[in-house]
Amino acid sequence: MLNLSVAGMLEKSQLSSDGVWLLLVEVAIPDSDEPMRLVRNNEDIIWNGYTWTAFNFKLGDITEDNKGRPQSVPLQISNITQTVQAYVEDNNGLTGTMVILRVVHSQHLSSTSPELEEIFTVQSTTCDSKWITFYLGCEISIQRRFPSRRVLKSFCAWRDQYKGIECGYNGSLAECDGTLQSCRNRGNSVRYGGEPIIPEGGLYA
């Protein structure tokens, strides 16, 4: 079950005045080396060496059954141009294919690591004149990937993602040297990405 949904991450965009959170969707296309790459934005972007095409889509809420188990997540992609419908019709509704949802920040597109990444499979698909709806299976989302990081005593793990989702700082200061003092100066020490309690000699398992 998801601990924090992609939709929930995007809500945090309301807390930042500098840049916006962008939702990317990557849909695998059978018998093709190139997936469909879309970004919910008003213009195309370049991220991780690929062009992500601006497109209208939205992610529905994750619901649970009466036993608390997650149900499928609806991903609605605009069908006004019928561009996506051609892929759907040619590939059995794209059922069983992989869909990857990622969250990136518009001011950190040079970073190759997304703020959040969730992997799903398409369980079923419906189409009408306005929307194509992919119902994404939640069970595969245990494959969530996070950027790996080292935990250090006096260095913030979020320095390379300054003002990112983990850092959480949304003030006017443009740079951070990754120290606890800098975090305190910003009134943001509760989000510090280091571990000051680690002994000088380090921790050993």
User: Residue 184 contacts by C-beta under 8 Å, 6 or more apart in sequence?
Assistant: none
Topology of domain 6-137, CATH:
Thrombin, subunit H (2.40.10)
Give me the residue label for tokens 């069908």: 79
**pLDDT at residue number 20:** 79
d(CA 39, CA 24): 4
**pLDDT at residue number 62:** 67
**pLDDT at residue number 63:** 62
Domain ranges within the chain, ordered by starting residue: 6-137, 145-204
Sign, CA dihedral 135-86-144-105, equals negative
Residue 56, CB-side half-sphere exposure with 13 Å CA sphere: 9
Record the pTM. Answer: 0.61
d(CA 144, CA 22): 18
User: Residue 43 contacts by C-beta under 8 Å, 6 or more apart in sequence?
Assistant: 54
d(CA 7, CA 115): 13
Q: Render each residue's pLDDT in the chain as its tens digit; 205 residues.
A: 333 345 445 555 454 445 678 899 999 998 888 999 999 999 999 999 999 999 999 988 766 667 666 677 899 999 988 888 888 988 888 998 999 998 888 888 888 888 788 888 998 999 988 999 999 886 544 444 444 444 555 667 777 778 887 788 888 887 888 888 888 888 887 777 776 654 444 333 3
User: Residue 130 contacts by C-beta under 8 Å, 6 or more apart in sequence?
Assistant: 78, 79, 80
Strand partners, 169: none
